[in-house]
Structure 1
């Protein structure tokens, strides 16, 4: 499976301090990639930097700040792979009760934060004549969500962005795909549970996945590595569910 090896390639990972971004960073490092890690949490970046050592360079960046993103990318000479993992879950409940400010905040991070990084990375990829962009979307972006309305809308936008960019960037040799996780055992998932009945809510979420369990961040990370690697060289515009059969 040499096509899954990423030796000599530089991967930029956003939201690398925790959750799926952190798991993706470790998986990409194991595949041989050099890493540039972006997160707004300096302490979290410090922890992962200790683990990965010289294989990772770290930048404390808020991806919603386009100027800060551009400054960070100015220090990155090569970007072969971009993994957009920075994101938040937003408020519980349907859009009919979502405050506009809350929706804007979710969209700013989940959609525009990723787009800021894409716009900074694409010139470097075009100069190289190749590149791979992997966005972290969600099954909530593929079906309606009354549970997390704002989150679902933001991830549906990520899905549409991924498809549009896959078409527009294909002539430049840049592939754009997305991983669509289902319910993943993570702090973000825990924050989405009903505080009044968290255990019952967790059990319900497990029950709607045919494999009968929550996914693990490492399982999502392996899908990221696949879409970032030459093993998926004929894949672009793909929305890859990692969801325990939820959408089957």
Structure 2
């Protein structure tokens, strides 16, 4: 999609959606799709220039967006960002907690690497949800979306710390969904499988990216790795009234890999 063409029957018309890690990959695809469906998108990313580029692209295409460069791991910076959003917006209709890192491999963790991974993957989405709850409560149909992972529902030998954080996210989401259901605020989680993003490609040895992706594809029943847009379309579904009777759900988007 070049630019942003607003759908005449937009699913998110008039809504405000905040997406973390929105400068690239799945977050970027989600931001562009949400904007195309009529939302004002608040893009948040450590990569300030990248977030601004996506926001400018959305605006140039007729959409509505703003960008914020934030290191979500820095509590002072995170709190400053919260104050900024609360001063500029009265309501948030969709909160997509997407930011995360892979963290240390196997058992090569120490206190610092464990805490960094747990902070960004589990603390930040929980804290953002808690702090933005007053704005979510002003929405007629608030939706909180968490990007978990298939690693949160099955063991991953190479990434036990990452898997632990994603398992925590899923259980937080489920408990949150029960807590907020009486208020009509929904909470759901997406569990992406192997998805072709810059971050995934960076994990492979130089010159072996295509071969690595092909090898992963052979383990997936649908025969291919995911694309960022595959995740974005499910996020749109959860953000919109199309899923208005769904809360507390965990949706694998993995080509059947967890089957």
Give the TM-score, by structure 2 length. 0.88
Pick from 78, 84, 89 the counterpart of residue 102 of structure 2: 89
**Which residue of structure 2 lines up, in the alignment, with residue 240 of structure 1?**
251
**Distance (Å, rounded) in 2 between the aligned partners of 1:10 and 1:163:** 23
**Distance (Å, rounded) in 2 between the aligned partners of 1:202 and 1:27:** 25
More moved, 27-36 vs 69-78: 69-78
**Distance (Å, rounded) in 2 between the aligned partners of 1:183 and 1:4:** 29
RMSD: 2.1
**Which residue of structure 1 lines up, in the alignment, with residue 53 of structure 2?**
47
Pick from 219, 223, 233 the counterpart of residue 212 of structure 1: 223
Would the aligned equivalents of 2:222 and 2:255 in 1 still touch at CA under 8 Å? Answer: yes
**Which residue of structure 1 lines up, in the alignment, with residue 129 of structure 2?**
118
Deviation string 1:185-237 (CA, Å, 9 cap, x unpaired) is 01121233367965554333222111111100001000000001100001000
Would the aligned equivalents of 2:213 and 2:225 in 1 still touch at CA under 8 Å? Answer: no
User: Unpaired segments of 5 or more residues in structure 1?
Assistant: none
Distance 1:175 1:159, change over 3 A: same
State the aligned residue count.
246
**Distance (Å, rounded) in 2 between the aligned partners of 1:13 and 1:30:** 14
The 3-state SS of whatever aligns with 1:90 is coil
**Distance (Å, rounded) in 1 between the aligned partners of 2:133 and 2:44:** 17
C-alpha deviation, 1:118, in angstroms: 0.7
C-alpha deviation, 1:120, in angstroms: 2.1
C-alpha deviation, 1:115, in angstroms: 1.5
1:184-203 correspondence to structure 2 within 5 Å:
184-193=195-204, 201-203=212-214
User: Unpaired segments of 5 or more residues in structure 2?
Assistant: 1-6
2:71 aligned with 1:62 = yes
Q: Which has the higher contact order (CA 8 A, sep 6+)?
A: 1
2:36 aligned with 1:30 = yes
**Which residue of structure 1 lines up, in the alignment, with residue 4 of structure 2?**
none
More moved, 150-159 vs 186-195: 186-195
